Structure 1
Amino acid sequence: MTSTAQKQDVVDLLLRQHEEIKSLFAQVRGATGEQKQQAFQQLVRLLAVHESAEEQVVHPAARDDAGDAVVDARLHEENEAKHVLSQLYDLGVDAPDFDARFAEFEQAVVAHATHEEQEEFPELRRKTDPERLRRMAGAVRAAEAVSPTRPHPSAGESATANMLAGPPVAVFDRMRDAVRDWRQSHRD
């Protein structure tokens, strides 16, 4: 891990990921064919690991700082997003109604990120020791390393559900990803 990453706190890490997510939304919207599929796969992976890590690390800590109502609202949004993302994944980027459904999904995800940035993150920064925020960034990175790479709405949105179901599902997801990537790289 670089010294910059070691100094980065959890809020900075998540804000950077929010920007990356927004960039991937734009890439999917602006692409066609294989490029669109690849950008969508990157977005699916980032959203899956990002939300799983938030549910395991950030939201439990934010309950003390931002309150139950704020965290419960974010968890509800994340659960809805998992269902929609799973549907979009199953639908595929070439489906006739993909773009319209994707645009609605993008609006919901951006609104969710805005809620976190305005309601949850400022309270974390204000009420949490800076060193703890840096350690939380490391915990988020560790959680992301063992998180599923696809949405699994039936797994639930609690930290406990993610810790129990996440690693075995993540192994399966990562094996599927490796096979998919190998097939794509070996097309004639």
Structure 2
Amino acid sequence: MLAARTIRISSLVLPRAVASSPRPAVALFSTQSARLQPHPQATYSDKGAMTGHLDTYSEVIVDHNNVKQLFHMYKKATSKEEKGTLVNTIIREIAVHSEAEEVSVYNDLESRGLAGESKELRDEHEQLEKVLYSVDWTKVDSSEFEPKFEHAIQLFIKHSDREEEDILKRLKEKLTPEENDKLAQDFLTKRKAVPERPHPIAPQSGGIIQKVAGALTKPHDKILETLRGQHFLSDDQLAYKHGQSTNVQPIKIDTSLLTHA
């Protein structure tokens, strides 16, 4: 169980998670994560908020927000161990998110007259995964690491901003509350089945071949993580949770933290 404390630094409210018992493959260190402000251009009217249905937009934004939050934590980290755990977690969160989107949300885009947008988003995922794959095999204390990692974050910001401010809002307008709930459920189900590492040369069409490849790859990813002795934050240590709100607002990452921009 995690005991949550809240401290205030300057104008930011920072939640601190303290682990009271060890968990497998989790680095037990104290870390701070800034609560960032909602992105003003990405707000929207949630027509399903009062129905008890899940919201696809919100579930996707949960992942986006966690990656942004983790990056802020990384920039505040001081030890190699802490940075390594945060980078591992960021790579995992982006990989899982991207694969789950491709086999659920992007397929729905195509069925609702947004095939061109789906193709462009898949291409952006492929580019991001190539950079993440290189980041994953570069040591955190290497001189090559920071530029590669920040390039990946830049690609992620550009991609997520486009989804948040345009495409996902257009998709939402085409969904009934029931369809929205079904798609959100499908996205969350797929998150549990897809690989947890970047595989840029794997199929990304969203079809059965990608689903089968993902199912076959996932166990090998776990073995590799164990062999490499990698540590990750657990889901309950992430700031944003799936299935808890139908009105999750995007946060805006502080691009001034990108020293290699």
Asked whether 1:68 is paired with 2:115, we answer: yes
Identify the match of residue 126 of structure 2 among 79, 83, 104: 79
Gaps of at least 5 residues in structure 2 are 1-51, 233-261
Change (3 A) 1:66 1:100: farther
Sequence identity (%)? 24
Task: Compare 83-92 and 61-70 and name the one that shifted more.
Answer: 61-70
The whole-number CA distance in structure 1 between the counterparts of 2:149 and 2:167 is 26
Aligned length: 179
Contact 2:53 2:177 in 1 (8 A): no
2:150 aligned with 1:106? no
- Distance in 2, Cα, partners of 1:107 & 1:96: 18
2:96 pairs with 1:43: no
Determine which structure has more spread, i.e. the larger CA radius of gyration.
Answer: 2
Question: What is the alpha-carbon distance in structure 2 between the residues aligned to residue 84 and residue 180 of structure 1?
Answer: 20
CA RMSD, Structure 1 to Structure 2 (Å):
2.0
Superposed CA deviations along residues 96-135 of structure 1, whole A, max 9, x for unmatched, are 1211221122111011001111222111110011111111
Question: Structure 1: how far apart are the matches of 2:179 and 2:100?
Answer: 16
**Shift in CA distance, 66/122, structure 1 to aligned 2, threshold 3 Å:** farther
Matched, 1:172 2:220: yes
Conserved 8 A contact 1:66-1:119: no
Q: Which amino acid aligns with 1:97?
A: E
1:181 deviates by 5.3
Tell me if structure 2 keeps the 8 A contact 1:8–1:134. Answer: yes
Aligned to 2:248: none
Instruction: Give the counterpart of 1:124 among 171, 181, 194.
Output: 171
Shift of 1:159: 0.9
Decide which moves more: 170-179 or 116-125.
170-179
- Which one has a larger percent helix, Structure 1 or Structure 2? 1
CA separation in 1, counterparts of 2:143 and 2:67? 23
Letter in 2 for 1:170: K
Offset at 1:178? 4.4
Cα shift at 1:7: 3.4
Residues 1-80 of structure 1: matches in 2 within 5 Å?
7-31=53-77, 32-65=79-112, 67-80=114-127
| 2:204 partner amino acid | E
- TM-score, structure 1 normalization: 0.87
Aligned mate of 1:151, from 194, 198, 202: 198
Quick one: structure 1 residues 24 and 98, their matched pair in 2 at CA, closer, same or farther if it must change by over 3 Å? same
Consecutive aligned runs of 4 or more in structure 1 exceeding 4 Å deviation: 178-184
State the alpha-carbon separation in 2 of the partners of residues 26 and 93 from structure 1. 16
Q: Cα–Cα, structure 1 residues 123 and 66, in superposed 2: closer, same or farther, change >3 Å?
A: farther
Work out whether residues 66 and 120 of structure 1, in 8 Å CA contact, stay in contact via their aligned partners in 2: no
